[in-house]
């Protein structure tokens, strides 16, 4: 922030050095009177602290409700259990909708949406538990998560709230996993569940990366791009690395394709100006190099030589990461 005293001092110094004239000062003053004052900006640090406190407070509220309910669970009737969980969540959601109408209480509204987003799914499962007991059909998971995803997407469209968009993505992801589990059903023994899970994470990772790219073009959603690039890179590169397997049960297709994925991530990070994608790509490249050398050289006399070579390669990867960051990403980083 520029103080008046500093400006006056600078004018005096310039005047003593004949660097500014009285007419220029007067002209600047008169031009300034005609200008519209810039909007008052709230300091970002204070705003961030407030947001953190809102969500921490919301998490503490949920924890308090959970502890209280857990202590009294056996004493409560089914109606009371549903009211405390699902009823409280819906009440928080409706309160958030009301508070969001006033700009001064939007932060509190987001905190209430956060509490509701945690309590409502819990309440729905409590509701189902009261009717089905400890074991209920696989389809129930899909129905609950699908209903939540649709509800929060519609709510986000109506209210344009970022916290609602975040919950939409979370519930949409959980619906995807639940729906795949439902489709498999009783045929689960026919699948390699570990590899199937990796394929699921691969799909989620690719979807997150596409969402991140889309959101980076929109001012209101750009803040989510960094998180989505990070989780998308983690899920995509982590799942494809795992799909390659380990000797002697490695899968040549995924193992041979992996360098293309990881180097693609490195260069995409430069194009998209995403530091988090750059970091994950570099880390997974190092992991892949270590995996390959461990698989194919650990039992040979060339193992020490391979380690030396890997060391130099990792130094090169480190330099490439720093170079890409400084040249393409440092500005307009996501």
User: Each residue of 256-270: pLDDT tens digit?
Assistant: 888 899 988 888 888
CB 178 within 8 A of CB 145: yes
DSSP track, 12-72: HHHHHTT-S-HHHHHHHHHHHHHSPPPPPPPPHHHHHHHHHHHHHHHHHHHHHHHHHHHHH
Nearest of 279, 284, 305, 206 to residue 241 by alpha carbon: 284
H/E stretch holding 257 reads helix 252-272
The pLDDT of 191-210, averaged and rounded, is 90
pLDDT of residue 41: 46
pLDDT in tens, 81-133: 888 889 989 998 999 888 888 877 788 888 888 889 999 999 998 888 887 77
Tokens of 229: 């690039």
Q: What is the mean pLDDT of the chain?
A: 80
In the predicted structure, residue 238 carries a pLDDT above the cut 70: yes
The residue among 122 and 12 whose pLDDT is bigger is 122
Determine which of 12-26, 71-85, 215-229 has the lowest per-residue pLDDT on average.
12-26
Which residue has 């009261």 as its token pair? 130
Sign, CA torsion 154/159/165/170: negative
In the predicted structure, residue 194 carries a pLDDT above the cut 60: yes
Exposure b/e, 112-131, CB count within 10 A at least 16 = b: bbbbbbbbbbbbbbbbbbee
> CB under 8 Å to 87, separation ≥6 — which residues?
123
153: confidence class by pLDDT, cuts 50, 70, 90: very high
pLDDT of residue 228: 93
Task: Give Cα 136 to chain centroid, integer Å.
Answer: 31
190: confidence class by pLDDT, cuts 50, 70, 90: low
Give the span between the Cα atoms of 60 and 50, in whole angstroms: 15
In the predicted structure, residue 183 carries a pLDDT above the cut 80: yes
The pLDDT of 161-184, averaged and rounded, is 92
Nearest of 227, 327, 333, 237 to residue 282 by alpha carbon: 237
> CB under 8 Å to 297, separation ≥6 — which residues?
303, 306
The domain limits of the chain are: 1-33, 43-123, 137-191, 195-334
DSSP track, 125-139: HHHHHHHHTT---HH
pLDDT of residue 304: 65
Give the span between the Cα atoms of 281 and 293, in whole angstroms: 18
36: confidence class by pLDDT, cuts 50, 70, 90: low
Exposure b/e, 278-290, CB count within 10 A at least 16 = b: bebbbbbbbebbe
CB 264 within 8 A of CB 280: no
pLDDT in tens, 271-320: 888 888 888 988 898 888 878 777 766 665 555 666 667 677 767 766 67
Determine which of 106-115, 205-214, 325-334 has the lowest per-residue pLDDT on average.
325-334
pLDDT of residue 200: 93
pTM score, two decimals? 0.75
217: confidence class by pLDDT, cuts 50, 70, 90: confident
43: confidence class by pLDDT, cuts 50, 70, 90: very low
3: confidence class by pLDDT, cuts 50, 70, 90: low
334: confidence class by pLDDT, cuts 50, 70, 90: low
Give the span between the Cα atoms of 314 and 300, in whole angstroms: 21
């Amino acid at each position: 922030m520029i103080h008046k005293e500093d400006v006056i001092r600078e004018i005096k110094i310039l005047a003593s050095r004949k660097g500014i004239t009285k007419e220029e000062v007067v002209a600047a003053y008169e031009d300034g009177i005609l200008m519209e004052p810039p909007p008052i900006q709230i300091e970002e640090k204070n705003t961030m602290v407030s947001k953190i406190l809102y969500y921490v407070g919301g998490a503490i509220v949920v924890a308090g409700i959970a502890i209280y309910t857990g202590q009294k669970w056996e004493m409560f009737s089914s109606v009371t259990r549903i009211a405390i969980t699902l009823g409280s969540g819906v009440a928080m959601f409706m309160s958030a909708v009301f508070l969001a109408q006033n700009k001064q209480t939007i932060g509190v509204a987001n905190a209430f949406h956060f509490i509701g987003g945690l309590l409502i799914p819990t309440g729905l499962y409590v509701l189902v538990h009261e009717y089905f007991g400890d074991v209920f059909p696989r389809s129930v998971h899909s129905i609950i998560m699908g209903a939540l995803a649709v509800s929060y997407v519609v709510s986000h469209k109506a209210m344009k709230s970022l916290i609602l968009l975040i919950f939409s993505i979370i519930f949409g992801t959980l619906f995807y996993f639940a729906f795949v589990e439902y489709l498999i059903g009783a045929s689960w023994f026919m699948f390699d569940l570990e590899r199937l899970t990796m394929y699921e994470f691969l799909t989620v990772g690719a979807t997150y990366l596409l969402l991140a790219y889309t959101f980076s073009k929109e001012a209101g959603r750009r803040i989510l791009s960094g998180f989505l690039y990070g989780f998308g890179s983690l899920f995509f590169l982590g799942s494809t690395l795992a799909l390659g397997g380990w000797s002697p049960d490695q899968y040549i297709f995924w193992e041979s394709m992996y360098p293309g994925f990881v180097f693609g991530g490195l260069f995409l990070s430069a194009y998209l100006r995403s530091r988090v994608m750059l970091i994950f790509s570099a880390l997974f490249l190092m992991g892949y190099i270590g995996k390959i050398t461990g698989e194919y050289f650990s039992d040979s006399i060339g193992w020490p030589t391979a380690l030396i070579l890997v060391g130099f390669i990792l130094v090169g990867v480190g330099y490439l990461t720093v170079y890409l960051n400084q040249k393409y990403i440092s500005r307009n980083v996501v």
